[in-house]
Amino acid sequence: MAETHQFHSHKLFDVKGYVCVVTGGGTGIGLMASQALAANGSEALENAAKSHDPSGGGQIIPLPPCDVTKKDDLERTVKELQKKEKYINLLVAAAGVPSGKAEPEESDAGELSEKIWKNETFDDWNQTYNTDVTSVYFTTVAFLPLLQAGIEPHGPLNKFGSSVITISSMSGMMRHAQGHFAYNAAKGATVQLTKLMSAEFQKTWIRVNSIAPGYFPSEMTAKSSDDRQKSDLPAEKVQEKGHVPAMRGGKEVEMGMSVLFLAKNEYVNGQILAVDGGVLNVISS
């Protein structure tokens, strides 16, 4: 009989001994990623929730505040981390911001132009792109040496053991602007950036993949969070959108599964994993 012990879930998704960095790990998707990693054994170093109960798993250890849009801050963070850790195994680039909204509902070109002109600005577009795209690039570049250092302890057959997970969005894969032209365009750029970094950086034996979430509870979707930095997204609010086959928002554990899959599967590289409840089956992409 063929052995099956290697397929036990606790072995498939065990990240014991992993050192992980999560940017934007204090709320939303970033916090979900941090908790999933810590609960399964990793030491997650991020700007995060002190209320997490590891229950025998790893730790969530906050780092000093870091503005990921500034090179000086990124350099300082890497240097501070190098004093504590010789390597990292995973970088989750989850820091991001929303953008202004101008729903393009008008059929009259003059009215459409006036509405967008009044509600959107160059500054908003630049800030959105700088945070959601440019910072992802420079954050990844800054941590490349620590990521490569994480490969060595695991031997030549596990060369792709270190990886980067960017957090893009289903919004970057659809033609429907949802009124968020700047955000959707930026997330589309994050998708392309992920593919570029995966192809160009694989010479360093570092994988780069992306998770493209749909509607998950976060400050961005729910507009608020509680004292544990958790947000509530009622199913009826998602159902009102009319294009979510799952009829609800994503669950925290579903995001956690996605993070662990990409972190552990060394045969996956350059992929965009849409976790969207079927939205992209309904809205053209």
Catalytic pick among 42, 183, 215, 264: 183
What count of other Cβ atoms lies within 10 Å of the Cβ of residue 5? 6
Q: Is-catalytic flag, 187?
A: yes
Catalytic pick among 99, 129, 163, 187: 187
**Distance between CA 153 and CA 17 in Å, rounded?**
11
Q: Is-catalytic flag, 162?
A: no
Catalytic pick among 168, 171, 210, 231: 168
Q: Is-catalytic flag, 168?
A: yes
Q: Which residues pair with 165 in a beta bridge?
A: 92, 209
Active site residues: 168, 183, 187
